Structure 1
Amino acid sequence: MTSHLVEAGRTLIPRKGDRYGLLSPALVTLTFVAGLVDALSYLSFGHVFVANVTGNIVFLGFAVAHAQGFVWWTSALTLVAFACGAFIGGRIIRRFGAHRARHLLVSTCVQAAFVIAALIGLYLLNRFAPEPAMGGAGAAAAARAVQPSLNFPTARHIDLHVIVLILLLAPAMGIQNSTARKLAVPDLPTTVLTMTLTGVLADASAHGRDRSKLGRRAVVMLALALGALTGALLQSHGREDVILMVMVVCLLLVIAMMLPHARSAEPWAVGCEKR
């Protein structure tokens, strides 16, 4: 148990000379961001995942089959926007991929720009294109007090707020996924954690619990769960803007981690091993 706690601590606060250095806590932070954005997207955008985009392919099948609560256009739009972000991420890799710290710095800056644009877009839409109120002023005010500020989309209702947020947040997560894939830090993919959970149980069963990497893997799973919890709590109070603000703060934290190492020759930053 102690060894797992030590492993978890070193993931969040790596020792000097650690193989992956600050990449580990940075990717844990991005995993928390993924939990935030998926809570927002699933609860507000009509059953879509902006970060764990694999589910949208399944949801698109549900929507085509006219399953209740699933709308085809939100899944399709998210997939297209995510693909655009992955393409942008590929261009960033081509230009900066040789240096891992600089790569993560640039990709996170671009990702933050998309999230900030989403925050500004949401503010402008709420100010100049408010959603239609149902009933009288009193009824509308009461509804706003207990309902999220975004309208849940239906087959006959296309919410401009949802479209704008999908078009800005899905590319941001496409960039994040492409970056995590290129960095290839073990057990820290930042979004899909199915193999992480599988690894805990399979490695413990095959090689003993000391080889399960439970401490490291538990940190990233907890980060995703806490992000989802935080996002769900804020969304239930109609504070989608605060979710975006928390995302921006997390991204700025990652930028602050990487900025001093943009020209570093440390092995973890440049992507080579000490010999």
Structure 2
Amino acid sequence: MTSHLAEAGRTLIPRNNDRYGLLSPALVILTFVAGLVDALSYLAMGRVFVANVTGNIVFLGFSIAHAQGFVWWTSTLALLAFIVGALIGGRIIRRFGDNHAKHLLVATGVQTLFVIAALIGIYLLNHFSSEPTMGGTAAAAAARATPSLIFPTASHIDLHIIMLIVLLAPAMGIQNSTARKLSVPDLPTTVMTMTLTGIVADTSARGHEHSKLGRRAVAMTALALGALTGALLQTHGHEDVILIVMIVCLLLVIAMMLPHIHSDASWTIAEKSPVSK
């Protein structure tokens, strides 16, 4: 147990010679962000994911089968918007991928712009649109007996939902492409299926000391805490606060990376891919 706690501590506060340096705590923060945004998207945007986006493929199948509560256009829009984000993430990798700190800084900066645009969009739509509001005042939230959005149906398309999907799904596409390129073990920032599988399978195959429980538990806890925080805020009508918390977390990652964009620390240098002959 002590070794697992020490491993968890090193993930959050890495040693000077740690192989992944500040990438580990930065990706833990981004994992928390993923939990936040999926709580917002699933609870307030009509059963759609913008972080764990592969779930939308299943939801699309449900909607085609006319399962209650699922509509095809939200899942399709989220998938397409996520792909756009992944394309942007790929261009960032091509330009800045040789330096992990600079790569994460730029990618998170672009991601932050998308989230800021979503926050501004909510306030503008609340002011000019006659549709249901998001993130209104506490009094307005208390007056609502249901979540602050009307779930989308075949006959109802909420501009708030469209705007949030179009802006948040690309942001998470950028985050996923960045985490994939950084390849920090057990910190994919979104899908934790392989992380959970690794705990059980490695314990079974090699013994409890090889489970990497401390590191993996940090990642899963960050995702769960993000989802919990997002759910608590959303059920009280504070979708705008969810976006504000996301922005604060993203700015924290930027602040962590900024001093190291010209560093020669080993964790900032991307490994060169072997050239095939």
TM-score, scaled to structure 2: 0.94
Equivalence for 1:49: 49
Equivalence for 2:35: 35
SS in 2 for 1:263: coil
Equivalence for 2:260: 261
Residue pairs, 1:132-143, within 5 angstroms: none
Q: Tell me, which stretches of 5 or more residues in structure 1 are unaligned?
A: 134-139
Q: Percent identity?
A: 77
Equivalence for 1:136: none
Equivalence for 2:94: 94
Q: Distance in 2 between matches of 1:132 and 1:47?
A: 17
Equivalence for 1:202: 201
Q: Which amino acid aligns with 1:177?
A: N
Residue pairs, 1:52-91, within 5 angstroms: 52-91=52-91
Q: 1:196 to 1:142 in 2, by over 3 A?
A: closer
Tell me whether 1:105 sits opposite 2:101 in the alignment: no
8 Å CA contact retained: 1:104, 1:179:
yes
Q: Distance in 2 between matches of 1:132 and 1:267?
A: 50
Equivalence for 1:23: 23
Deviation at 1:130, TM superposition (A): 3.4
8 Å CA contact retained: 1:150, 1:238:
no
Q: Distance in 1 between matches of 2:9 and 2:154?
A: 47
Q: Which amino acid aligns with 1:111?
A: Q
Q: Which amino acid aligns with 1:151?
A: I
Tell me whether 1:151 sits opposite 2:150 in the alignment: yes
Bigger shift: residues 123-132 or 140-149: 140-149
Cα root mean square deviation, aligned = 1.6
Q: Which amino acid aligns with 1:206?
A: A
8 Å CA contact retained: 1:147, 1:237:
no
Residue pairs, 1:214-233, within 5 angstroms: 214-233=213-232
Report how many aligned residue pairs link the two structures: 267
Q: Distance in 2 between matches of 1:8 and 1:39?
A: 25
Deviation at 1:147, TM superposition (A): 2.9
Q: Distance in 2 between matches of 1:226 and 1:163?
A: 26
Q: Distance in 2 between matches of 1:144 and 1:40?
A: 20
Residues 119-166 of structure 1 show CA distances to partners (whole Å, capped at 9, x for unaligned) of: 000010011113259xxxxxx958743433222111210000000000
Q: 1:112 to 1:132 in 2, by over 3 A?
A: closer
Q: Distance in 1 between matches of 2:79 and 2:48?
A: 10
Residues 93-143 of structure 1 show CA distances to partners (whole Å, capped at 9, x for unaligned) of: 00000101100000000000000000000010011113259xxxxxx9587
SS in 2 for 1:63: helix
Q: Which amino acid aligns with 1:239?
A: H
Residues 3-56 of structure 1 show CA distances to partners (whole Å, capped at 9, x for unaligned) of: 000000000000111000000000000000000000000011111110000100
Q: 1:114 to 1:142 in 2, by over 3 A?
A: closer
Q: Distance in 1 between matches of 2:89 and 2:147?
A: 32
8 Å CA contact retained: 2:141, 2:237:
no
TM-score, scaled to structure 1: 0.94
Residues 38-80 of structure 1 show CA distances to partners (whole Å, capped at 9, x for unaligned) of: 0000011111110000100000000000000001000000000
